[in-house]
Structure 1
Amino acid sequence: MLRTPGAVRDAERWTAHNYHPLPVVVASAEGSWVTDVDGRRYLDCLAGYSALNFGHRHPTLIQAAHEQLDKLTLTSRAFVHDQFADFCRELAALCGKDLVLPMNTGAEAVETGIKVARKWGYQVKGVAPGQANIVVAEGNFHGRTTTIVSFSTDEDARADFGPYTPGFTVVPYGDLAALEAAIDENTVAVLLEPIQGEQGVVLPPEGYLPGVRRVCTERNVLFVADEIQSGLGRTGRTFACDHEGVVPDMYLLGKALGGGIVPVSAVAANADVLGVLKPGQHGSTFGGNPLACAVATEVVRLLATGEFQRRSAELGERLDAGLRALVGKGLVAVRVRGLWAGLDIDPALMSGRQACERLMERGVLAKDTHGSTIRLAPPLVITEAEIDHAVAQLAAVLAG
């Protein structure tokens, strides 16, 4: 008797329905593959929304976790532990920044970035108390806290969660003129995803990110790059901003930083920015805990070799070619950067959800977003053969 239907029913019975997962119940995983409770294997082409960039149970990361579990898991930031300095130093070096502030979740990193930008605005820029504003982009996805959803343009994320936090100005993504016009004397930061993931892997127009960097420098405004999904090798470079040689004032990092094992996020910036925080003004009990630091340090060391960035770039070209061959054969548009792809399916053919259900039936896991769009973000350890397999299954689904 199959265990999946009962497990799905139990999950639906005992949890709030804030997700609509595919009816697959994963029991084990390794590399690019997961196995469900009935023993069926699936190629994971979502990788935990980029949290599993190094695949499931990467041996180096698992070893680091096991070794740390036998020694020390938590101290709180009331004390210093022996894994903390190595993590912060090596991540700062990877980012080319002076300082790192470790947190846990991506949303916490974004909230931290907002707080730091406001405090910088008051203490360094000289903005009048209570008047700081931050420019953000339409179609953004930065998390789900009450402050973050206050400037979301996705009604599913935003509706009925008010009253909303003030202090944000929303402009069209990719419109540099609109962004520049929105900046005033009280603007402390521009907060952007260099590639909008939840929106469907929307790539910036050529020259947009360098333009944002120029405007922020000219107007004395911080450029805060949310690289939580796009960073750490996903796009074929360490950061998505690297593709246009752009260095933001602040990186917001998460997801892959925890190696698919523990939640780890961080803010990286220079001392003239992060230095505005003093003891007692911001913190997290679990932020920068020993287990998280032990795993995340190994993540940084894997990235420091450049291997995963190269794999993403090279394999991304293969993925791009395979997907573009399907445009006009069920796909109407494809956007690819490294091993990250947004695919717009002909809505007359099927919805994104239907496409993902049919891919699941063929042993490939992906995720839909915004109607007829699906996203692919396979682990960076995926092979050429596995990419070809995923594209072949998509082609079969589109062909009906």
Structure 2
Amino acid sequence: MTQNFYEVTFTKTHRGRDASLPCFTVKKTKESENIYNLTTGYFIGVDWLDSDKTALYVAPKLNLENKEVDFVKMLFSSLRHVDVTKEIDELFEVKWDQPNIEIEQKQDLLTPFLVVEFLSLLKIIVRKGLKKSYYKVEKNLHSKVKGKILIGKSIKHNILQNKNLHTYCSYDEFGLNNKENRLLKKALSFVKRYLPNYTQLTDNKEIQNTFNYINPAFHNVSGEIELNEIKQSKKNAFYKEYEHAIHLAKLILKRFGYNISNTVKDKIQTPPFWIDMSKLFELYALGLLKDRFHNQVKFQHKYYGNELDYLLKSDNYRMVIDAKYKLKYISGKHDEDIRQVSGYARLRNVYKALEIEQGNIIDCLIIHPDQDNGLEDLKDVDLKEKEIPQYFDVYKVGLKLPHTN
């Protein structure tokens, strides 16, 4: 069946906190004619407009000529901070139950997203040390017996073949070669095969160094495992990254149809998926704030239905900060956003968290993208340098996002 493709560049629309907000909308412009208007939001991905007939592909562009926002680099930058990893689940949605869409390998946004997140989690796991546990082993032992004798296999492989000194046994062994590590190793082998075929990943030295750091740790772990062997991973407070890493490993294997040859094809079959660039921008800005302020910045401070992006409490700053993936702030403002962040700055709980006495005004900051004059990091900048003219003590800072040709 022939698929018709319409490639749409990323455009700006308002996105609230409503998780049910559509990734795109299609409206009929004239009642009498088959003319429709399509509007995209703050999402990139691919989806069906008309199932099995017409698909929509939204590229990660942000007013860039012949360039795209490098969302892989943004994600990798965010995941350098361990406490950011728990926020990643809200970034994407995959519609596994819908028919696949054929796209070019270079149009694939989902796989590099999963790979970067997977490698970042494995780096944390390897740094701590792989988890050791008891696991079942079946071996044909010579001149000894260990654990439980497997009578059927001993008869088939030994007695009927005149190997009278051998006994097939099943027993528990303690070490690295448990089911969880074997699943991670299997997914890692798919990633190893995939990386050379995606230049955006191979050109990134940090990602390549991360893989080279991880790979030796799995040298003594087998990659032989069936997915149905791991139904649920046991939770462990010290190895808390395992649960999410196993989930990602399963998604990566599912993404390639459990066939490693699918990692090198020019055209691939992908389920419909969406990646939330607005949320990714929040995490990217959080990473840059943490580079400078570390634990002095708190993310998603929640209080009676209010969810603030960031609270900053340092020696020089006491601020309520919001990240807005909007180009309007380059030369203007958005009054509704400023009213929102100003409202947060009036919460009693915020005054208490920032240790500010009642009657004092709390500074507010809007972080927004600015590809022409934005900053690449926040290490040596005065966060109060650019005040929004129409307001007292409300400031803005533009960030230049990484991009690729």
Q: TM-score, normalised by structure 2?
A: 0.24
Q: TM-score normalized by structure 1? A: 0.24
